[in-house]
Amino acid sequence: MFKKLTNGCVALVNRYLPDPFIFCIILTIIVFVAAMPLTGQGPMAMVNAWGTGVWGLLAFSMQMALVLVLGSAFANAPPIKRIVSKIASLAKTPIQGIIVVTFFSLIACWINWGFGLVVGAILAKEIARQVEKIDYRLLIASAYSGFIVWHAGFSGSIPLALATPGEEALMKATGGAVLEPISTSLTIFAPYNLVMVLIILVCLPFINAKMHPSPDQVVTVDKNILIDEAETAMTAVTPAEKIENSVVMSAIISIAGIVYLIFYFATNGFNLSLNIVNFIFLILGIIFHRTPINYVKAITKSTKGAAGIILQFPFYAGIMAMMTAVSATTGLSLAGVISNGFVAISTPITFPLFTFLSAGIVNFFVPSGGGQWAVQGPIMMPAGQALGVSPALTGMAIAWGDAWTNMIQPFWALPALGIAGLSARDIMGYCLITLFFAGIVVCGGFLIVGFLGLA
């Protein structure tokens, strides 16, 4: 029965899910058409919002491209390959391979989402090299499925925003509902949140393993494609070549980077922002590739997978701009209409559940944790407060909803797909099962918390 469901989801996605770029265009059309009657804005207002917003994610697009490029280059360094190879060697069979990659990806994404996206895909590729007859599509999908817990972990942007001091920023983000920082002990480390993460951590590896196709349906990957060219030492002849192959040059910049990281963590604590994750990948990549020219070659090779990010992220920025565009006459935005619709049917018991579901819908069109918070925080936080629901619980419901529908949203899968060399339709059928499972766990969790008033 389970295999039939999985096969049905895979067949459905393979048949109807277009290339992620076409998916962007379809979402753009849907938002454009829906926003006008629901918010009272005209076609030119929507076109203007779209055109103005297209370049709103340039900085973030570069960050995401660097997550892929720097992470891949770091992972291709010979010492790192050996470490990843040892972890991959824990898996001796296809089933074990799926379990290992899912488990490590979940842990890595809970610690830091950028780190987890890259490490999960790299570990999956190494397992594909070592384990015979393992389905490569499911392997990469399992690596990406770990992303389901990112917003409930250390790098969750919403719980971290709630924990950051600054009365003015908190008031703006929460519509005046929160004036003082909310400790992560009430969000990330709240018992209900840890229980939901633990259930997913324990069950999802085995659910993914259960999806592995029968031997006659397995889609493997040509292992020759997965073999990376080894760094070859060359004899430096000219002064320029000697500089390019100088370990001293790499050492100088590496020492400077290490000194900065020590200073950063000493003054900011364990705050792994996306920029710091990329900086760590950058410095470690330079260190482990030993010479500047080796690192240049690794970066050059790694950039090939970044095409999807470069092309698609501007379109998502345009979609987000249309979702959040506020009508001058009605004061409504499409994201606001969706959120207010769920608020209208909520009670103190069901509010966390409906907040989660509304966030899942909004995330489909605004696939950014920061963007999600900017859109829903000012609406859902005051509504929750009026119903007597804890702000910490409302914030985590938005956070989980933001992470949930990433399983069927190609936006965040692009780095992993770039590393793996697959398309979205190759993995999304399997990710659909993760969406169903996580939805049941989180819906049940928030309903129980709301009913018992535990938060």
Mean pLDDT across 9-20: 81
Mean pLDDT across 71-93: 86
Residue 280 pLDDT exceeds 70? yes
Give the pair of three-digit tokens for residue 340: 């207010």
Which ranges of 211-291 does DSSP label H, i.e. alpha helix? Answer: 223-226, 239-244, 247-268, 274-289
Residue 24 pLDDT exceeds 80? yes
Give the pair of three-digit tokens for residue 265: 């963590």
Give the pair of three-digit tokens for residue 383: 């509504």
Give the pair of three-digit tokens for residue 280: 């760590």
pLDDT tens digit sequence for 378-421: 889 999 988 999 999 999 999 999 999 999 888 778 778 887 88
pLDDT at 216: 84
Residue 290 pLDDT exceeds 80? yes
pLDDT at 429: 92
Determine how many CB atoms are found less than 10 A away from the CB of residue 26: 11
Phi, psi of 133 (to 5 degrees): 60, 35
Residue 70 pLDDT exceeds 80? yes
Whether 206 and 99 have beta carbons less than 8 Å apart is answered as: yes
Q: How many angstroms separate the CA atoms of 144 and 184, rounded?
A: 25
Q: How many angstroms separate the CA atoms of 66 and 6, rounded?
A: 33
pLDDT at 235: 66
Radius of gyration from C-alpha coordinates of the chain = 23
Whether 301 and 32 have beta carbons less than 8 Å apart is answered as: no
66-75, 106-115, 280-289: range with highest mean pLDDT: 280-289
SS3 for 71-129, per residue?
Answer: HHHHHCCHHHHHHHHHHHCCCCCHHHHHHHHHHHHHHHHHHCHHHHHHHHHHHHHHHHH
pLDDT at 311: 85
Residue 96 pLDDT exceeds 90? yes
Give the pair of three-digit tokens for residue 436: 């169903």
Q: What is the mean pLDDT of the chain?
A: 87
Residue 373 pLDDT exceeds 90? no
pLDDT at 233: 55
Place of tokens 């049940």: 444
DSSP helix/strand/coil, 3: helix
DSSP state of 238: S
Whether 379 and 176 have beta carbons less than 8 Å apart is answered as: no
Would you say the C-alpha torsion 339, 345, 348, 351 has a positive or negative sign?
negative
Q: How confident is the model at residue 97 (pLDDT cuts 50, 70, 90)?
A: very high
Mean pLDDT across 211-225: 82
pLDDT at 137: 93
Non-local CB neighbours of 356 within 8 Å, separated by 6+ positions = 397, 398, 400, 401, 404, 442, 443, 446
Mean pLDDT across 49-62: 86
pLDDT at 224: 65
Non-local CB neighbours of 70 within 8 Å, separated by 6+ positions = 278, 281, 282, 285, 299, 302
Q: How many CA atoms lie within 13 A of 343 on its CB side?
A: 21
Residue type at position 206: F
Mean pLDDT across 185-202: 95
DSSP 55-84: TTTHHHHHHHHHHHHHHHHHHTSHHHHHHH
Domain that holds residue 313: 2-452
pLDDT tens digit sequence for 229-258: 555 555 666 888 788 888 889 999 999 999
Phi, psi of 345 (to 5 degrees): -105, 10
Whether 156 and 149 have beta carbons less than 8 Å apart is answered as: no
By the 10 Å C-beta count (0-12 exposed, 13-18 middle, 19+ buried), 257 is classed as middle
Which of 106, 154, 160 is CA-nearest to residue 373?
160
The CA angle 57-59-61, to the nearest 5 degrees, is: 65
Q: How confident is the model at residue 370 (pLDDT cuts 50, 70, 90)?
A: confident
More confident residue, 365 or 401: 401
Residue 104 pLDDT exceeds 80? yes
By the 10 Å C-beta count (0-12 exposed, 13-18 middle, 19+ buried), 326 is classed as middle
Whether 325 and 47 have beta carbons less than 8 Å apart is answered as: no
Non-local CB neighbours of 71 within 8 Å, separated by 6+ positions = 114, 115, 117, 118, 119, 122, 281, 415, 419
More confident residue, 140 or 79: 140
Q: How confident is the model at residue 286 (pLDDT cuts 50, 70, 90)?
A: very high
pLDDT at 152: 93
CA separation, residue 248 to residues 76, 251, 253, 275, 421 (Å): 21, 5, 9, 26, 35
Determine how many CB atoms are found less than 10 A away from the CB of residue 220: 15
Mean pLDDT across 113-136: 88
Mean pLDDT across 342-369: 89
pLDDT at 226: 67
Residue 47 pLDDT exceeds 90? yes
Count: domains in the chain? 1
pLDDT at 232: 55
Mean pLDDT across 342-354: 91
| Distance, first Cα to last Cα, the chain | 37
Mean pLDDT across 9-27: 84
Q: How confident is the model at residue 63 (pLDDT cuts 50, 70, 90)?
A: confident
**Percentage, residues of the chain above pLDDT 90:** 40
Q: How confident is the model at residue 49 (pLDDT cuts 50, 70, 90)?
A: very high
Which of 113, 102, 191 is CA-nearest to residue 427?
102
Which of 157, 140, 76, 147 is CA-nearest to residue 116?
147
Residue 313 pLDDT exceeds 90? no
Chain centroid to CA 189 = 20
